Structure formats: structure tokens, C-alpha cells
Structure 1
Amino acid sequence: MRWYENDGLWSGFGELMFSERRAVEAEANVADSPLLKFTPGTRVLDLCCGPGLYVVPLARRGHAVTGVDLNQEMLDRAASVCAEAGVEARLEQGDMGDYVRPGEFDVVINMYTSFGYFAEPERNLQVLRNAHESLVPGGQILMDLLGKEVLASWVGRPQAVDLPDGVAFMRDTVLDDWTRLRTDWTLVRDGAVHQASIVSFVYSAAEMRAMLEQAGFVDIECFGGFDGSTYDNHAKRLIVRGTRPR
């Protein structure tokens, strides 16, 4: 079993990966970010949508949102939050390495560093090719990543996250000459210890630009946050946008 196919990872550590704070941030990004300003009715594919943190605010703004995720429990949570918010969205179970809907979307988003999961570099590139094929001519892809340059400023420092009923510890380790990253999680709750690890490729802005070009995208831009700021030494995230040629 590959790590991202482990349902226990997402059910056990999902509340850490998709916290209430992240839900609030997603709502604010959709409301304020110039990178997420779409014409009402835009057909948006949220690839690796998780529990719907971006699905709900995008649907609330009148967009036709499709959320795709491999994990059914995440999709069930997304369906629940959509129902609570009174919005409609199409939710589909699927593998991002295979998911293709030719010319069906105006925008593809991929948030929370949900890229680079496959051990084979060509399969990660195929995700971008799938997104390219799924977009209409002139459509855009928008990716939110923890860029290699940002990661380098703090990687290796253990972090602790307090929870109402426990505590979680996280440690990152760089692998294979800065090619991949392993994140080890330890959750201590009710006297029990749970552990999980995530291993994925980590990319610089230049590497992402090259991959998007290889997948057929043009007019590729890199930003240091959802505010559209420059990707420089002050960046907190790597936001990459590319366009399918008309």
C-alpha cells in the first residue's frame, strides 16, 4: 500500500491536516485573493479536495465546483460541510494520476501541497497533463505548494501542535539530495500513540515552471502567497499559475 492509500492516515490525522484554522483561511482566500477571482459560473475542479475547504466557499460564490479525492471519508466530510453550508457541488472519488475530463473545466486548483505524491516522476507529470487536457483552451491551473525555497528556511525543526484532547508532533526530513521530503507525525491522545509518515517530492519554483511547460502550459507565473505577492525570500507559500493555450 502506498502511503496516500492508507485511509487510516486521513481519518487519524485529518483534523491536523485540515484544521478549522485552514478552513477559515480558505474562506478568506476565496473572498480576497486576486488569484481566486473567477467569473460567476466558472467550472472549477478542486483536485485532491480533501474535506472541501475550498469547495464550499467557491460554490457559495456561484461557481460550478467538482471536488475529486481518492479518500472516500474525505469526500463524505466534504458532502457534509456542503450540506451544512447549503451549497451544491459534484464530489467524485478518483486518483489524480488518472482523472481526466477533456475540456470540462475552466479552472483546476490543487491546494495544500497535494502534488508530488507518486514515487515515479513521470506519474506526477501525468497529473499536470491530465489537468491540461481537462481544461478548456484559455483555462488555468492554480497550485498551492510548500516550495523548496520556503521549506529550506525552517525544515528540520520539530513542531508540536496542541489539541483539545492530546498533542501532535511533526518532524520533516529532506531525502535524496533535496528531491523528496518525509513528514513524520506522532499523535498522543488518551494514553495512546499513533504514528504516520508522508513522503512526497518537493519542488522549487523553477522545477514547477519546467514541469508545467512540459505538460503544455504557457504564461506560467509564481507567487509568494494568495495575495499575488512576489515569490522571493519573504514568501510563505509557492503559488503557481499556468494557462492552457487557446
Structure 2
Amino acid sequence: MKWYEDDSLWSDFAPTMFSPERAESVAELVATSPLLRFPPGSRVLDLCCGPGLFLVPLAGQGFDVTGVDLSEAMLDRARSACEEAGADVRLVRADMLTYTAPEAFDVVLNMFTSFGYFDDPEDNLQVLRNAWKSLAPDGQLLVDAMGKEVLAGWIGRPQAVDLPDGSYVVQRDVVFDSWRKLRTDWTLVRGTSARTASLTSWLYSAAELHDLFVAAGFAEVECFGGFDGSAYDHHSRRLIVRGRKK
């Protein structure tokens, strides 16, 4: 079983990855980001939607929203969040490597560094091709990633996150394969027990991810340093790549 297929991993570490504070910041992003301003009624796919942090605020903006994820545990959380908020959202359990819905969407989003999971680089390219196929003409794909250039500024420093129940998570990132890949090691400490997990993914520079978009068929590919639409440079905290289907 691949690490991303382990539902217990997502359940155990969800409080760290998807905290209430993060949900609040996502809602603010959707309300204010120029990159997330789409025409009224746009059909938006959140690919690898997780527990639905983007789904609820996107639906609140009046978009026709679909969330796709492989994890049933995450979809259960997303379903509960949407029901609690009264958000009308379609949820689909599917693998991003194979999921397509030809010309069904105007926007495809892939957030929280949810790209680059597959060992074979051709599989990761296929994910972008699937997104291209799923977009209507002039539709757009946005991928939110941790770029190599950003990671180089703080790699190697362990981080600890305290959880409300008194447990805590220690995260350590390790770059390997000549800066091609990233391994994130998580340790959840709860009382006298500890749970560990390792996530591995491909690591991309802005130029590399830009070129993958082009190889998948996208045009007008742009790289941004944040959801404010700023330029991608040495001050950036994220790498946002956007391409259009022409």
C-alpha cells in the first residue's frame, strides 16, 4: 500500500494538517485572492479536496463545486463540513491518476501540495493531462505547491505542533535523490505512545512545474509566489502555477 492510500494516516494527522485556524485562513483566501476570482456560476473541481477546507467557501461564493479525493475518511469529513455549512457540493471518491470528466469544469484546483505523489514521473504528468481533459475550453488549472526555491530556505529544521488534546506532532523534511524528491516524516506523540508516518513526493522548481504544465497541453502558464498574485521570487512562501486550456 502506498502512503497516500493509508486512511489511518489521514485520520491520525488531520488535526495537524487541517486545523480550524487553517480553515479560517482558507476561507479568507477564497474571499480575497485574485487568483480565486472566477466568473459567477463557474464549475470548480477541488482535486484532492481532503476534508473540504476549500469546498465550503467556494460553494459560498456561488460556484458549482465538486470535490474529489481517494480517502474515504477525508471525504467523510468533507461531507460533514458541507452538511454543517449547508453547502451543496458533489463529492466523488476517485484516484487523481485516473479521474477525468471531459470538459465538465471551468476550474480545477489542486491545493496543499497534493501534486507529485506518484513514483513514476509520467504518472504525475498524467494527472495534469487528466485535468486538461476535464476542463472546458479556456478553463484553468491552479496547482499550489511547495517549490524547491521556497523549501531551500528552511529545510532541515524540525517543527512541532501542539494539538488541543495535549498530544503533539513533530515534522521533519528531508530532501533526497539530488533534490528531486522530498520525504516528510511525521511523529504523533499521544501520552506514552507514538505514531510515525513518512510521505514522499516529487519536488519541483517553478521552471520544472511550468514545463510540466506545457507538456500536458496548457497555455499561458504563469507562476506566482502566493494567492495574492505576487511574483515568484526568493521572498515567496508558496509556488502557485496556473495554466489555461486553449
Identity over aligned pairs, percent: 61
Kept in 1: contact 2:82–2:89 (CA 8 A): yes
Per-residue CA deviation, residues 35-77 of structure 1 (Å, 9 max, x unaligned), is: 0001221000000000000000000111000000000010011
What corresponds to 2:233 in structure 1?
A: 232
Read off the aligned partner of 1:147 and give its amino acid letter: G
What corresponds to 2:52 in structure 1?
A: 52
Separation of aligned partners in 2, 1:181 and 1:51: 23
Per-residue CA deviation, residues 191-210 of structure 1 (Å, 9 max, x unaligned), is: 21111110000100000010
Separation of aligned partners in 2, 1:77 and 1:40: 27
Asked if residue 172 in structure 1 is aligned to residue 193 in structure 2, the reply is: no
What corresponds to 1:149 in structure 2?
A: 149
Separation of aligned partners in 1, 2:191 and 2:171: 18
Tell me by how many angstroms 1:34 deviates.
0.2
Read off the aligned partner of 2:216 and give its amino acid letter: A
What corresponds to 1:15 in structure 2?
A: 15
Asked if residue 108 in structure 1 is aligned to residue 87 in structure 2, the reply is: no
Separation of aligned partners in 1, 2:41 and 2:8: 36
Question: Aligned to 1:129, what secondary structure does the other structure show?
Answer: helix
Question: Aligned to 2:16, what secondary structure does the other structure show?
Answer: helix
Q: CA RMSD in A?
A: 0.6
Separation of aligned partners in 2, 1:21 and 1:216: 36
Matches within 5 A, 1:1-246: 1-164=1-164, 165-245=166-246
Question: Aligned to 2:113, what secondary structure does the other structure show?
Answer: coil
Separation of aligned partners in 2, 1:7 and 1:163: 20
Kept in 1: contact 2:15–2:163 (CA 8 A): no
Question: Aligned to 2:53, what secondary structure does the other structure show?
Answer: coil
Runs of 4+ in 1 over 4 A off after TM superposition: none
Separation of aligned partners in 1, 2:25 and 2:155: 23
Per-residue CA deviation, residues 118-159 of structure 1 (Å, 9 max, x unaligned), is: 000000000000000000010000111011100000011111
Separation of aligned partners in 2, 1:127 and 1:21: 30
Tell me by how many angstroms 1:190 deviates.
2.4
Read off the aligned partner of 1:146 and give its amino acid letter: M
**TM-score of the aligned structures, taking structure 2 as reference length:** 0.99
Read off the aligned partner of 1:203 and give its amino acid letter: Y
Question: Aligned to 2:204, what secondary structure does the other structure show?
Answer: coil
State how many pairs are aligned.
245
Question: Aligned to 2:126, what secondary structure does the other structure show?
Answer: helix
**TM-score of the aligned structures, taking structure 1 as reference length:** 0.99
Separation of aligned partners in 2, 1:40 and 1:51: 24
Instruction: Give unmatched runs, 5+ long, in structure 2.
Output: none
Separation of aligned partners in 2, 1:202 and 1:229: 21
Task: Pick which of 185-194 and 98-107 moved more.
Answer: 185-194
